C-alpha cells in the first residue's frame, strides 16, 4: 500500500563526538520542578509527586538558531532546562537502575505562550496551546554520558541580550534525573529517541522579536536562540 503523502522526518539532534545523530521521538516535560519557580507561578513547592506534560517531537529545534514569534500570544516566555536523552527502552524501571537508560544530556528551552497556558490552567483545561506548538523546544547538541557523566549538579543560567535572567543549580531540582525517569516510566514505556525536559528554575520572563536568548549548564554545550518575527499567514 502506498501513502498519500510523506510525513515530515523526525528532527535529528547532533551527538557530540559521534557521527550518528539522535532521532527525536517524544518529549516529556516535567512541571514545577524547582521550588522557587513553583512559588513565582503562584503554586505550592512542596515535594508532591511530579507531573509531566508532552510535546510533539516536531517541536524540537536542533542546535537552536532563529525561531519565529508564535501567533495568538502577547506573552512569549523562556524556560531554560536540563534535558535527558533516552537511549534504551524502559518500563517501570527501578530508581537505582534509572540512569542506565540515559544516552546523554543537553541544554534546552521550553518556550511557552504563557497567557494561553495560564488561561487554560485557570479553567482546568489542558495546556497544549500554551506549550505544544512549533519551534517551542530548542535543544543544544547532546553530550554523551561517557563524556560528561551523570549531571547531579552544575550551574544553570539563562540570559536575554546578555542580561542574566535565570541563575540556579541543577541540584536545586525537587525531583532529580533518576527519580524523574523512574516516575515517568511507571506511566509510559520510555523508548530510544525520547527526550525529558526536567523543569525550569525561577526567573522566567517574556521575549520579543530581536531578542537573543542564551542558556548554559555547566558541563554541556550552550544553546543560543534568537527570536524572529511572526510566521507569515496563509496565502
pLDDT (average), residues 209-231 = 96
What are the pLDDT digits (tens) for 79-111? Answer: 999 999 999 999 999 999 999 999 999 999 999
What are the pLDDT digits (tens) for 44-85? Answer: 666 678 889 999 999 999 999 999 999 999 999 999 999 999
Number of H helices, E strands in the chain: 5, 18
> Can you give the pTM of this predicted structure?
0.94
We find that the CATH architecture of domain 21-230 is Alpha-Beta Complex (3.90)
Is the Cβ–Cβ distance between 109 and 79 less than 8 Å? yes
DSSP element (H, E) containing 129: helix 128-131
pLDDT at position 41 is 61
How big is the chain, counted in residues?
235
pLDDT at position 48 is 74
pLDDT at position 47 is 64
Domain limits, the chain: 21-230
pLDDT at position 191 is 98
pLDDT at position 17 is 95
Amino acid at each position: 500500500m502506498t501513502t498519500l503523502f510523506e510525513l515530515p522526518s523526525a528532527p535529528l539532534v547532533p551527538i557530540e563526538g559521534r557521527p550518528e545523530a539522535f532521532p527525536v521521538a517524544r518529549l516529556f516535560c516535567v512541571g514545577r520542578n524547582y521550588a522557587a519557580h513553583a512559588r513565582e507561578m503562584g503554586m505550592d513547592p512542596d515535594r508532591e509527586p511530579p507531573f509531566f506534560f508532552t510535546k510533539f517531537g516536531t517541536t524540537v529545534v536542533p542546535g537552536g538558531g532563529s525561531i519565529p514569534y508564535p501567533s495568538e500570544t502577547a506573552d512569549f516566555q523562556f524556560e531554560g532546562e536540563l534535558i535527558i536523552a533516552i537511549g534504551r527502552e524502559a518500563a517501570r524501571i527501578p530508581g537505582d537502575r534509572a540512569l542506565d537508560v540515559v544516552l546523554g544530556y543537553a541544554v534546552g528551552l521550553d518556550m511557552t505562550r504563557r497567557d494561553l497556558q495560564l488561561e487554560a490552567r485557570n479553567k482546568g483545561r489542558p495546556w497544549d496551546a500554551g506549550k505544544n506548538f512549533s519551534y517551542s523546544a530548542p535543544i543544544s547538541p547532546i553530550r554523551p554520558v561517557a563524556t560528561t557523566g551523570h549531571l547531579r549538579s552544575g550551574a544553570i543560567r539563562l540570559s536575554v541580550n546578555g542580561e542574566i535572567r535565570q541563575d540556579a543549580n541543577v541540584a536545586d531540582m525537587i525531583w532529580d534525573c533518576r527519580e524523574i525517569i523512574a516516575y515517568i516510566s511507571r506511566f509510559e514505556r520510555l523508548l530510544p529517541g525520547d527526550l525529558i525536559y526536567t523543569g525550569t528554575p525561577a526567573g522566567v520572563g517574556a521575549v520579543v522579536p530581536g531578542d537573543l536568548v542564551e542558556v548554559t549548564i555547566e558541563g554541556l554545550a550552550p544553546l543560543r536562540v534568537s527570536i524572529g518575527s511572526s510566521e507569515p499567514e496563509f496565502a
